[in-house]
Amino acid sequence: MRCERLALSGADDATRVAADIRRLVPPPESVRDGVALIVATVRAGGDRAVRDYSRTLDTGGREPQALLVPDDELDAATAALDPDIRRGIERAIQNVAAVAGTRMPATEAVTEIGENRVIHRWAPVERAAVYVPGGRAPYPSTVVMGTIPAKLAGVEHVAVCSPPRRDGDLDRVVLAACRLAGVDAVYRMGGAHAIAALAYGTESVPAVDVIVGPGNLYVQEAKRQVFGQVGIDGFAGPSDLLLIATGDVDPEPLALDLLAQAEHGPGTLVVAASDAPEILDAFEQPLRDADDTGAVACLVATTGTDELLALGQAFAPEHLQLVGTEAEALSSRATRAGCLFVGAGAGTAFGDYIAGSNHILPTNGAARFASGVSPEHFVRRFSEVHIEAPAELATAAAPLARAEGFELHARSMEARIRENEAR
């Protein structure tokens, strides 16, 4: 694995170093034009275009299977599932549901303004889709992470799509996870063409309202390009991890945490930062000796915890792991991370599978403004307005409307004063 070493020259230098680290992997805009062509082609060509792209990109020239996976295949995959794997999936479903359930918004809130009131309400979207990566490895865990929050939110129809293997089919464990999680439809399609199909609809794939899920640059750029046609969770991939370690820590399991995230493949960034050179030295050789997954590692030397915190805030990682007494003390001040892991026992792999926190998280620095997937991604918020005493509001607002040049807005409100007085 490629491994770079950098050094911070002070807390004020954190923004520059964070940007230097991001430049070690291809930026999202590098695939923009290619994705735009795929999206436009699928929007115009429907099923035929999706199958053409699948034949080229997924099945190596073999004729793709039907896009929709039939129910009997889901049932067969579930029946054949290894009992230990089934227990793991079911426990993940249980834990994710428990944690996501605490993120459910209140169904209604009322604000009284004199005799008037505004009711804040929410309603689930009707159809949502979860993108489950494939290619290098199957991701049944992503089925759970995307589907359970959607179901908790009350989404009526949840679809999953995933890239087919060379034989044109999907991994049996992914299919079983779909059945156990309560997925309503499963599609054999992946990549930017799958995102376009879900956003605009095809003969076989009904359009959805929200798309969530991790994926490579093509998938995430496609999500960005169809945003506005559908809602999305944000930019969720390739993966990144910032591990901050201080003091007397055992480097062996921490090196495994870095290597574990590197398994996600090309474009992944695994970064370790410490004010103890010996900790970084202990990480370097295992990282350099690791298989070339396409991930990039970076070791950052600092002189104190202020620099470490500044780097964490500037880098805004998908995963932020704090290990060691001084590092763990930073947890309450760390506000820019997709998910925060505190302590030697909290390896990020637990978050990927079983801790209950979600692993569909903002990447590429998007943790500055975005959040991990939760039921909130699948609901719409709107207001219901009741005005029983319009006079005071109209008197206050009509001059403002006229200042904006909207005379009829002003007259519309003032008409309510006369109606009210007539009563």
Residue 251, both tokens:
């480097």
Cα–Cα distance, 96 to 212 (Å, whole number): 16
Residue 329 lies in a domain: yes
Q: Do 81 and 146 fall within a single domain?
A: yes
Q: Do 175 and 45 fall within a single domain?
A: yes
Q: Do 290 and 159 fall within a single domain?
A: no
Structure-derived torsion over alpha carbons of residues 279, 283, 285, 286, reported in degrees to the nearest 10: 150
Q: Do 249 and 339 fall within a single domain?
A: yes
The CATH number of whichever domain residue 144 belongs to comes to 3.40.50.1980
Q: Which helix (H) or strand (E) holds 379?
A: strand 379-386
Cα–Cα distance, 409 to 397 (Å, whole number): 9
Contact 344, 251 (CB under 8 A): no
Q: Do 228 and 215 fall within a single domain?
A: yes
Cα–Cα distance, 393 to 416 (Å, whole number): 10
CA angle, 274 as apex, 271 and 276 as ends, to 5°? Answer: 140
Q: Do 106 and 64 fall within a single domain?
A: yes
Q: Do 98 and 66 fall within a single domain?
A: yes
Would you write out the chain's pLDDT as a tens digit for each of its 423 residues? 899 999 998 889 999 999 999 999 998 889 999 999 999 999 999 999 999 999 999 999 999 999 999 999 999 999 999 999 999 999 999 999 999 999 887 778 899 999 999 999 999 999 999 999 997 789 999 999 999 999 999 999 999 999 999 999 999 999 999 999 999 999 999 999 999 999 999 999 999 999 999 999 999 999 999 999 999 999 998 999 999 999 989 999 999 999 999 999 999 999 999 999 999 999 999 999 998 999 999 999 999 999 999 999 999 999 999 999 999 999 999 999 999 999 999 999 999 999 999 999 999 999 999 999 999 999 999 999 999 999 999 999 999 999 999 999 999 999 998 765 655
Residue 254 lies in a domain: yes
Residue 357 lies in a domain: no
Domain count, the chain: 3
Residue 325 lies in a domain: yes
Residue 207 pLDDT: 98
Cα–Cα distance, 336 to 348 (Å, whole number): 16
Residue 355 lies in a domain: no
At 237, is the secondary structure helix, strand, or coil?
coil
Contact 61, 55 (CB under 8 A): yes
pTM, rounded to two decimals = 0.93
Q: Do 300 and 394 fall within a single domain?
A: no
Q: Do 98 and 212 fall within a single domain?
A: yes
Residue 260, both tokens:
């574990």
Residue 213 lies in a domain: yes
**Please, what is the angle between helix 14-22 and helix 305-315, to 10°?**
50
Q: Do 99 and 202 fall within a single domain?
A: yes
Tokens 């290894």 sit at which residue?
A: 82
Q: Do 167 and 255 fall within a single domain?
A: no
DSSP 204-244: SS---SEEE----HHHHHHHHHHBTTBEE-----S-EEEEE
Q: Do 176 and 325 fall within a single domain?
A: no
Residue 353 lies in a domain: no
Domain assignment of residue 227, given as a range: 31-236+375-380
Residues annotated as catalytic are: 318-319
Residue 191 lies in a domain: yes
